[in-house]
Structures are given as C-alpha cells and as structure tokens.
Amino acid sequence: MERQENIKPSRKNIRVSFLKRFARNKLAVLGVIVIFSASIVSLLGYLITPDTSSYANEQHIEIAAKKPGFTINMLTVSLDISEKERGWYERMLFGKLPSVQYIPLDSFRYEGKEIVYRVFGTKVYLKQGSLGVHIIKRMYLLGTDRFGRDLLSRLIIGTRISLAVGLIAVIISLIIGVALGAIAGYYKGATDTIIMWFVNVNWSVPTLLMVITITLIIGKGFWQIFIAVGLTMWVDVARVVRGQVLSIREREYITACKALGFGDARILLRHVLPGAIGPVIIIAASNFATAILIEAGLSFLGVGVQPPIPSLGTMIKEHYAYIILNSTHLALLPGFAIMLLVLSFNFIGNGLRDAFDVKDVNV
C-alpha cells in the first residue's frame, strides 16, 4: 500500500512536468487552441452553418461570386415534404431536409394579399399569394461562391472533411505502421529483412503518385480517400517504431520479462510499445498535417472528395481563376484555412517533441 502511494505522486509529477514543457512552446499552445476551435466548429457542423442544406449546397446562380457582407432579400416558399424531420444529431451530421425554397429578390411590394416581386438579376415582375410565403433578409458573411452558395458554410463543412480525413488516415497509418514496425524490430532477422524490404519499396514511391494509384483502384469518393491516404502514410510510423523497439528490446527489464516466461505479445504490448509512444505521437501530429495537404491536393486534381461534398482543395480548384479577378477571397480563404490547419499541427508536433525531450530537467 505504501509503495502504491509513493508511485502515484511520481506519475503525477511526470504528467505535470510534461505539460510544463509543452506549455513553454507558445506556438504549440496556439496550435492546440486553433485545432480545438476548428474541431468544435466542424463537429457542430450544420447546427451553426447559415446554409443548413446537405453539403451546404444551396445554389443561387443569380448571386454568384458576391463580396463578403453581401445582403439580399429572400422570398421563402414553403415546400410540401412528406419525409420525417431529422433529429438534432442527424441535422448536425447530414444537414436539414429542405422545407422551404429560397428565391433571391431584387425588389418586392405588397398588393393586397399578393406579393409582386422581381427575381435578382431579371426585369420581369411576378405575382404570388402571400399565404405560406415570407420575405427574409439574409447576409452572406464571407460572400458567395461561383454557384451562389454560402462560402462560410462551405468552409465549415470543408474543414470538417479535412479533419476527418486526417483523423481516419492517421488511425489507419498507426495501426499498420506500429504493427509492422514492432514485429520487425522485436523479432529482427529474416522477419525484419522482409518487412523492411516492403517498407523501402513503399518508401521509394512518391506519396502523391501512390495515393492517386490507390484512388483509381478503389474508386473516387468520400470514404475511399480516407483509405487511400491512410495506406500511404504508415511507412514513416513503421520506421520510427522499428528503431525504438530495436533499442528497447535490449534493455534489462525486457530480458527479465523473457526470463519470467512472459509471451512475446505481452512483452510487446505492455513493456516495449509504451516506451515508444512518444515518437509515435509526434509523427502522428506530423502525419495529420500531411494528410490534410494530400487530401487538398487530390481534391484539387479532381481525384479526391467529389462534388457536391465541400472540400478545401475543391474550393480552390473551382475559384483559382478568380485570383486575377475582383474576387480573390474565393480562392484565398480556403487556402488560408488549409495553411492554418497544417501550421497548427506542425506547431503541436514541435511542442510534443520538446515535451518528450527528457534531457530538459529544469521543469
């Protein structure tokens, strides 16, 4: 009992020391704040987006490529839908079922029980009964894209896509990389030679080329891009884990575990891999940033996430021509979002590297 009480404060001190070293890196703390904020916004998704339609894909060609802060009157016409209304959880993930039709107006007036209006960009006046029809004012905080969609809503959902691709890709790469690296480093010999030959072959192929190849094999789509990116990022993890395991397996306590008759699986999972967790976490943060860049690049090339699903890379592809026009924000804003996410993960990786540096004892 006394031994357990002595161990607990020691473990607590280790955690406090780790957090202090991490907090010294102000950029790393800033990166955590940015990623945490982006994650919360992305998780809430359609609950906070101005455009609550699926994929934020409500199009109004009449008001395409408008400046930030653009305001317009909208005529809302109720739609007769028979589908059951989605709950808040489904709305958060998939958006809201369309219940009204929005028509952008240039002008309107009331004549008795009818509304006389002119659609934005036209010269023809139309009439419609006021029953079930309302006039609302809508502001597009970041303007509209080339199809008249709300740019802010597309950025929020696009950020969700980028973070989701990064998360799933990192999980896949960790599962494959840790497993192969641990087996190669622990057993050495012929097993190590075969696995490292496979690792080196994959290492020699350019990442983007391999991702494109895998995408063409398994198809284009939302879930396919998760798998394609994840299957190309495990090489770094495997090499790092192998090096750590090769060092750890030679230590005295591993020899003691073997002498006590512990199985290889128990030694690997409970005594070897915990000692290699630090470098793995650092490289996972780096791979997260790399996955976001790869997904954006693939979407820009047209082999990533397919329309109408919003992707930061697709948004740049659709609007890069506007850079030389008077609507540069359409391409710069998604590019800035990618830059901010990638920088934040790199800052976190640098902070983790400093925090795991046990040579720094002045805490």
Cα dihedral sign for 179, 182, 188, 193?
positive
Dist CA 290 CA 346 (whole Å): 9
For residue 1, pLDDT over 70 is answered with no
pLDDT tens sequence across 5-43: 444 445 666 677 878 888 888 999 999 999 999 999 999
For residue 299, pLDDT over 80 is answered with yes
Q: State phi, psi for 169 to the nearest 5 degrees.
A: -65, -40
**In which order are the strands placed within the sheet that holds 70-78?**
125-129, 114-119, 100-111, 70-78, 133-140
Question: In this predicted structure, what is the pLDDT of residue 31?
Answer: 94
Query: In the chain, what are the domain boundaries?
Result: 13-39+152-355, 59-148
346: three-class secondary structure by DSSP: helix
Q: How many CA atoms lie within 13 A of 66 on its CB side?
A: 27
Predicted confidence band at 82 (pLDDT cuts at 50, 70, 90)? low
311: three-class secondary structure by DSSP: coil
pLDDT tens sequence across 223-232: 888 888 888 8
Superfamily of domain 13-39+152-355: MetI-like (1.10.3720.10)
Q: Which of 58-72, 129-143, 342-356 is predicted least confidently?
A: 129-143
CA distances from 63 to 42, 154, 211, 308, 362 (A): 26, 16, 37, 18, 60
Question: In this predicted structure, what is the pLDDT of residue 7?
Answer: 46
Predicted confidence band at 88 (pLDDT cuts at 50, 70, 90)? confident
- State the pTM of this model: 0.88
pLDDT tens sequence across 222-280: 788 888 888 888 998 999 999 999 888 888 888 888 888 888 888 888 888 888 888 89
The whole-number average pLDDT for the span 92-120 is 87
Q: State phi, psi for 221 to the nearest 5 degrees.
A: 160, 180
- What does the mean pLDDT of the chain come to? 86
Q: What is the largest CA-CA distance in the chain?
A: 94
Q: Which of 11-25, 61-75, 235-249, 333-347 is predicted least confidently?
A: 11-25
Question: In this predicted structure, what is the pLDDT of residue 2?
Answer: 45
Could you tell me if 71 and 142 are in contact, meaning their C-beta atoms sit under 8 angstroms apart?
no
From first CA to last CA, the distance across the chain in angstroms is 29
Residue with tokens 């087996």: 183
Q: Characterize 42-57 residue by residue with b for buried, 16 or more Cβ atoms within 10 angstroms of its Cβ, and e for exposed.
A: beebbeebbbbbbbbb
Question: In this predicted structure, what is the pLDDT of residue 129?
Answer: 76
Question: In this predicted structure, what is the pLDDT of residue 358?
Answer: 60
**Partners of 218 in the beta sheet?**
none
